Structure 1
Amino acid sequence: MSQVWFITGASSGFGLDLALLALSAGHKVIGTVRSATKAADAVAAIREKGGEVVELDVTKADTIAGVVEKANALYGGVDILVNNAGYSLLGAVEDMKEEEVRLQMETNFFGPLRLIRTFLPTLRARGNATIVNFSSIAGQDAQPTCGLYAASKFALEGLSEALAREVAPFNIHVLIVEPGAFRTNFLHAVQKTEAPLSEPYIGGPVDVTLQKFDEFRGKQRGDPAKAVRTVFEVVSGTGEAGVLKGKVLRLPLGPDCIQRIGTKLDKFNADLEATRKFALATDI
């Protein structure tokens, strides 16, 4: 069954790949880019397959309603909202400027939140709808340098957990996608703090991790095409992974993601057991 997809961040990476795959499968797609001029190749690729493209900067709150209204008018509504647009701010938390922090949260959290709230009346009316929020392994396991990026994704995951319970009665599913390291342009697009790494952090975990990111760029093991295929199958209920449609809240992607989540769960359970006696002794 053909559905209407609204995909943010369709200028490159997962967003563009997902848009093209959905179009190839016979779905209708509205992709968003911040600048149609700068993303001319992506715009042409989407339109050549029959998709639509609209300009959207998710940080500009006053434009959201107009873009949503335009999107709904194109095909009479949207069935699948994909919040994919985002970027990573890297550096020591202490070195981050207020405006850098705010832009990170505006892009990765408040933008998706605004789109969700604005699209929900249409999604509710259509039923059998899906909200896909692209998080990251950083949304489960925060590494040095990724403090604010992880914070934005932790926030998105918390929102998604509550949202999934709130909209379930309307036959709306929520899916959190948690990619590990995939060979997209993501690491090429990361932004480091404007201020250089301050002296106390030189040679420490932040410095070491920043260097690893630089060395890792372009060498990620993950195949973006395979990741996007899995996301598409889970959302559309087709293919091998289609059996998961509506049955899972989280979709971790990549062996590194599975390993890091497993390690975190082990640590979480260890903390739970270590504190159990004290936690159970706090009732009145």
Structure 2
Amino acid sequence: MAPLVWFITGASSGFGLSLSLHALSAGHQVVATVRNTAKSAEAVQKIQEKGGKIVELDVTKPDTIAQAVREAESTYGRIDVLVNNAGYSLLGAVEDLTDREGLQQMDTNFFGPLRLIRAVLPGMRARRSGTIVNITSIAGQDGLPSCGLYAASKFAVEGLSESLARELAPLGIAVLLVEPGSFRTNFWRAVQLNETGLSEPYRDGPVGDVLNRFGSVVGQQRGDPEKAAARIFEVVAGEGEAGQLKGRILRLPLGPDCVQRLEKKLKSVSSDLEAARKVAMSTDFDGA
């Protein structure tokens, strides 16, 4: 197939960096964004050495997004694949979180992707082709204690993507949701805890237990980010081990832990539906 032009956010580490390098190694063209080139010097060098273009971009600054997209389109003529990967996780009991912390989480994880989607769609619509890849998380399906706001931001991207996929299908544009489980990236090292810390009522219970478990898994995650990047690339490009999934799925779960949590969630939803079915069916007007 002809090389694609990829626009990948959050390329300083993790999936963003791995996917950028994988696409470049496969002969594709990549515009990779980082918030600060000086702080991401090692990743910048790796991407540039393979022929990728680096753009500084903070997805929470709306005025810079259109400029970054224009720069990419002027360089390569188009953007074929947008990968919304930039984001972070804020952890803490929901009661302990402030409005400001919540707004920052949603600004980065939800409004950032939304801004980029709006910016690339005119070009994709004009060509009637393109793919929007939104990296969410199994947390976008299954919210654990301590992950309330992070899960909310990912649930929001999932809901947006479901509607978006239906809106764009007639225009020849695909949407793919990527739902990773636990992978050995720097994700957990970059986690932010709420400013006030964990309040006493939540220390001995589900929130404290999950936070302690998260801390113990850093560097021990089973997931290989290079393999994850390869699977994402294959689904988008329609080649390789996962290529047969191109155009057939909205969601791409990644990792055995993700599959297990998703299966458990589906069983829970199905159980709720069956338990409440009679009540749910009793709410129409009489005779309707």
Normalising by structure 2, we get a TM-score of 0.97
Q: Distance in 1 between matches of 2:75 and 2:104?
A: 30
Q: Distance in 2 between matches of 1:82 and 1:255?
A: 23
Q: Distance in 2 between matches of 1:134 and 1:80?
A: 13
Query: How big is the alpha-carbon RMSD for the aligned residues of Structure 1 and Structure 2?
Result: 0.7
Shift of 1:167: 0.4
Q: For 1:125, give the aligned amino acid.
A: A
Alignment deviations for residues 104-149 of structure 1 (CA, whole Å, 9 cap, x no partner): 0000000000000111001112233100000000000000000000
Corresponding residue for 1:128? 129
Q: Distance in 1 between matches of 2:77 and 2:258?
A: 37
Q: Distance in 2 between matches of 1:252 and 1:137?
A: 8
1:9 equivalent in alignment to 2:7: no
Q: Distance in 2 between matches of 1:44 and 1:124?
A: 33
Q: Distance in 2 between matches of 1:146 and 1:64?
A: 28
The percent of aligned pairs where both chains have the same amino acid is 65
Q: Is the 8 A contact 1:7 1:83 kept in 2?
A: yes
Q: Distance in 2 between matches of 1:39 and 1:4?
A: 22
Corresponding residue for 2:94? 93
Corresponding residue for 1:258? 259
Aligned to 2:145, what secondary structure does the other structure show? coil
Corresponding residue for 1:268? 269
Corresponding residue for 2:195? 194
Q: Distance in 2 between matches of 1:21 and 1:270?
A: 41
User: Structure 2: any 5+ residue segments left out of the alignment?
Assistant: none
Aligned to 1:175, what secondary structure does the other structure show? strand
Instruction: Report matched runs for 1:9-28 at 5 Å.
Output: 9-28=10-29
Instruction: Report matched runs for 1:26-105 at 5 Å.
Output: 26-105=27-106
Q: For 1:193, give the aligned amino acid.
A: N
Normalising by structure 1, we get a TM-score of 0.99
Corresponding residue for 2:248? 247
Q: For 2:27, give the aligned amino acid.
A: G
Q: Distance in 1 between matches of 2:170 and 2:18?
A: 31
Corresponding residue for 2:181? 180
Q: Distance in 2 between matches of 1:245 and 1:137?
A: 20
Q: For 1:133, give the aligned amino acid.
A: N
Corresponding residue for 1:166? 167
Alignment deviations for residues 234-280 of structure 1 (CA, whole Å, 9 cap, x no partner): 00001021001011000000010000010111111110000000101
Aligned to 2:12, what secondary structure does the other structure show? coil
Alignment deviations for residues 143-199 of structure 1 (CA, whole Å, 9 cap, x no partner): 000000000000000000000000001111000000000001101110000111111
Moved more, 155-164 or 70-79: 70-79
Aligned to 1:38, what secondary structure does the other structure show? coil
Q: Is the 8 A contact 1:128 1:171 kept in 2?
A: yes
Q: Distance in 1 between matches of 2:256 and 2:196?
A: 34
1:280 equivalent in alignment to 2:281: yes
Q: Distance in 2 between matches of 1:132 and 1:180?
A: 16
Q: For 1:93, give the aligned amino acid.
A: V
Q: Distance in 2 between matches of 1:259 and 1:99?
A: 34
Corresponding residue for 2:232? 231
Alignment deviations for residues 20-43 of structure 1 (CA, whole Å, 9 cap, x no partner): 000000000000000011001111
4+ aligned runs moved over 2 Å, structure 1? none
Q: Distance in 1 between matches of 2:233 and 2:205?
A: 40
Alignment deviations for residues 185-233 of structure 1 (CA, whole Å, 9 cap, x no partner): 1011100001111111111111111100001111111111111110000
Q: Is the 8 A contact 1:79 1:126 kept in 2?
A: no
Q: Is the 8 A contact 1:129 1:173 kept in 2?
A: yes
Aligned to 2:189, what secondary structure does the other structure show? coil
Aligned to 1:6, what secondary structure does the other structure show? strand
Q: Distance in 2 between matches of 1:136 and 1:71?
A: 27
Aligned to 1:240, what secondary structure does the other structure show? coil
